[in-house]
Amino acid sequence: MPESVSSVRRFQMRRIVAKFGGTSMGSADAMRKASAIVRSVDGEVIVVVSAVTGTTDALIALGNTAVEGGDWEVLAGRIKERHRMLVRELDLDLHQQLSVLLDEMWSICRVVAQFGELGPSVLDRLLSLGERLSATIFAEHLVVDGVNAEMVDAFDLIATDRQFGCANVDFPVTNSRTAGVLFPMITNSVIPVVTGFIGQSNAPHRYTTLGRGGSDYSAAIIAAAMDATELQIWTDVDGMFTADPRVIPGATVLTQLSYAEAGELAYFGAKVLHPKTIKPAIEREIPVRILNTFNAAAPGTLINSEECASIKSITSKKGITVVNLVSLGMLDAHGFLAKIFTAFARHEVIVDVVSTSEVSVSVTVDRKVSSALVEELRTFATVDEPETGMAIVCVVGEGLRTQPEVLGRLFSAVGPVPVSMVSQGASKRNVTFVVAERDARRVVAQVFHEFFESDPTL
C-alpha cells in the first residue's frame, strides 16, 4: 500500500533536468544565480553542467602545448588559478578535492610532454577535467546554499564506444546505468550534479567526450533515461529568436518551436542548441526549454512536439562559396552526384546546400575551395571559378510545409534581389536562398517584414 501511494506521488512529481552551460558556470556570480534557479525548482531536479566557460579550449591548448614541448605549466597554472579563484570567491572548502583533479591534469601533461605524444584517449581524459572541476565546485556551492547535492561523474553513467573526441552512446547500457545511479539519489532527495560532455568507453574503460558542445546532448540523454518531465537548457540568451537581433532590431524571442523546427535552426546558424540534443528528447517527447541564467524570470523558448502553421525564424550566414558544376558526359551523367560528393569528402569539405538539374549541380560550402579540389572536380565536370562572398538566408517554419501560400509570400518578399540558388529542405520546413553577402541583410529584413511585421498571425 505505501508503495502504490508513493508511486502515484512519484508519477505526479515534476522531474526537471537542468543543464547549465559554460557561462552559467563562468563566475562566482553566475554560480550563485544558477544555485538560486536550482533551489527554486518545484519538484525533482537533476543538474548537468558544462565546464567553466573557456576551459575546454584552454585544456586543448594545454595538451597541444605539452605535446609540442612548449611551456605548458604556464597554461596549467592559469586553469588552476581560475578554478581556485572561483572556490575562494564562493568561500568553499574544496582544497583537497580540487588538488586531486589538478594533480591529475599535471600528471597527464607531464607524460604528454615527456613522450611528445597526445593520443585521442589521453586528450579526452584531459578534457574531462573541465566538467569534473565545474561539477565539483557547483555541487559544493549548492551544499553551502543548503541543498543536498552531490557531484556525479558521467563516466559512471554514459557508456560509449571508443571514438574518442566524438563518442557514440550505447543507449541501453547508458539508460540502465543512469537510472541505477540517479534514481536512488533523487529518491533520497539528493540533487545529482552531473558532468556534461563526458562518458566512458567500453573496455579498456577510458574517458570519452561526446563532441564539442556535447553537454546539451548529455543532458538530453539523462533526461530521456530518467523520463524527465522537462529538459531545461540554461544559457546566456533569452531563447531562440525570430531573427538575429544584431541584424534585425525588431527580432523577438520565440515562445514555442516544434522539435523539427529547432533542428533546422540549429543546423543553419542559430548556435543556441546542439542539433543532436533534439534526438533523445524527441524520442521521449520531453519538452525542452531554453532559458537565461542571467534573466531567469524570462519565459524562454519552449521546444515540443506541437507543430503550428507559421514561419518561425530567419537566419543568415555569410562567408559562403558556391561551386557550379556541369557534367562533362551529358548523356552519361549517372554517378555524377556520387563523384562530386566523394571529391568533397576526400578534401574534407562539408557541403551545406545543394541544388540540381539534369546535368548541372550547385553546392555551397562555408569556406574557400582549394584549387586541388577544383582540379579534381574538373576531371569529370566543367567547373566555373567558385563564387565567393555569398550568404545563405534560411527561413524555417512548419508553415512552409503546410500552407502553400506561405511559399508564394516568401518568394515575393525576397523580391527583386538576385538569388543564385534556392533549395527546399527534404523536411519542407526550410527554404534556403543563396544571395550575395551585400544583399543578405536586405533579404532578411524583407522576409522579416513580410512575416513578422505586416501580419502578426504569421
Contacts with ligand ASP, residue ranges (CB under 6 A): 22, 50-51, 56, 130, 196-197, 212-215
Rounded CA-CA distance 115/44 in Å is 47
Q: Residues with Cβ < 8 Å from 345, sequence gap 6 or more?
A: none
Q: Closest separation between CB of residue 125 and Mg ion, Å?
A: 21
For residue 130, the partner it binds in ligand ASP, Mg ion, none, with Cβ less than 5 to 8 A by kind, is: ligand ASP
Half-sphere CA count of 403, side-chain side, radius 13 A: 14
Query: Is 170 exposed, middle or buried (CB count within 10 Å of its CB: 0-12, 13-18, 19+)?
Result: middle
C-alpha dihedral sign at 424, 430, 431, 433:
negative
Q: Closest separation between CB of residue 330 and Mg ion, Å?
A: 48
Q: Closest separation between CB of residue 273 and ligand ASP, Å?
A: 11
Q: H or E element: which one contains 4?
A: helix 2-12
For residue 197, the partner it binds in Mg ion, ligand ASP, none, with Cβ less than 5 to 8 A by kind, is: ligand ASP
Backbone angles phi, psi at 313, to 5 degrees: -155, 150
Q: Cα–Cα distances in Å, from 169 out to 208, 301, 340, 403?
A: 10, 27, 31, 38
Alpha helix stretches (DSSP H) within 168-316: 171-187, 215-225, 259-267, 278-283
Interface with Mg ion (CB under 5 A), residue total 2
Backbone angles phi, psi at 83, to 5 degrees: -75, -40
Q: Which is nearer to Mg ion, 56 or 65 (CB)?
A: 56
Per-residue cell: 192: 545529482
For residue 214, the partner it binds in Mg ion, ligand ASP, none, with Cβ less than 5 to 8 A by kind, is: ligand ASP
Q: Closest separation between CB of residue 287 and ligand ASP, Å?
A: 20
Half-sphere CA count of 18, side-chain side, radius 13 A: 28
For residue 399, the partner it binds in Mg ion, ligand ASP, none, with Cβ less than 5 to 8 A by kind, is: none
Q: Which is nearer to Mg ion, 167 or 444 (CB)?
A: 167
Q: Closest separation between CB of residue 196 and Mg ion, Å?
A: 8
Q: Which is nearer to ligand ASP, 50 or 316 (CB)?
A: 50
Contact indicator for 393, 444 with CB cutoff of 8 Å = yes
Contact indicator for 338, 358 with CB cutoff of 8 Å = no
For residue 51, the partner it binds in Mg ion, ligand ASP, none, with Cβ less than 5 to 8 A by kind, is: ligand ASP
Q: Which is nearer to ligand ASP, 51 or 396 (CB)?
A: 51
Q: Does 196 bind Mg ion (CB under 5 A)?
A: no
Side by side, the strands of the sheet bearing 288-292 are: 149-152, 191-195, 44-49, 15-20, 230-235, 288-292, 301-304, 256-258
For residue 397, the partner it binds in ligand ASP, Mg ion, none, with Cβ less than 5 to 8 A by kind, is: none
Q: Which is nearer to Mg ion, 213 or 386 (CB)?
A: 213
Q: How many CB atoms lie within 10 A of CB 319?
A: 14
Contact indicator for 228, 17 with CB cutoff of 8 Å = yes
Q: Which is nearer to Mg ion, 63 or 213 (CB)?
A: 213
Q: Which is nearer to ligand ASP, 22 or 63 (CB)?
A: 22
x-marked contacts with Mg ion along 254-293 as a string, rule CB under 5 A: ----------------------------------------
Q: Does 213 bind Mg ion (CB under 5 A)?
A: yes
Q: Closest separation between CB of residue 360 and ligand ASP, Å?
A: 39
For residue 134, the partner it binds in Mg ion, ligand ASP, none, with Cβ less than 5 to 8 A by kind, is: none
For residue 17, the partner it binds in Mg ion, ligand ASP, none, with Cβ less than 5 to 8 A by kind, is: none
Mark 21-40 as b/e (b = at least 16 C-beta within 10 Å): bbbbbbbbebbebbbebbee
Q: Does 21 bind Mg ion (CB under 5 A)?
A: yes
Q: Closest separation between CB of residue 112 and Mg ion, Å?
A: 26
Rounded CA-CA distance 264/307 in Å is 14
Q: Which is nearer to ligand ASP, 303 or 396 (CB)?
A: 303
First-to-last alpha carbon distance for the chain, in angstroms, is 52
Looking at beta carbons, which residue is closest to Mg ion? Answer: 213
Q: Closest separation between CB of residue 130 and ligand ASP, Å?
A: 5
Rounded CA-CA distance 275/396 in Å is 15
Q: Residues with Cβ < 8 Å from 416, sequence gap 6 or more?
A: none
Q: Closest separation between CB of residue 13 and Mg ion, Å?
A: 28
Q: Which is nearer to ligand ASP, 192 or 214 (CB)?
A: 214
Q: H or E element: which one contains 192?
A: strand 191-195
For residue 128, the partner it binds in Mg ion, ligand ASP, none, with Cβ less than 5 to 8 A by kind, is: none
For residue 318, the partner it binds in Mg ion, ligand ASP, none, with Cβ less than 5 to 8 A by kind, is: none
For residue 300, the partner it binds in Mg ion, ligand ASP, none, with Cβ less than 5 to 8 A by kind, is: none
Q: Closest separation between CB of residue 79 and Mg ion, Å?
A: 19
Q: Closest separation between CB of residue 128 and ligand ASP, Å?
A: 10
Site residues for Mg ion per CB under 5 A: 21, 213
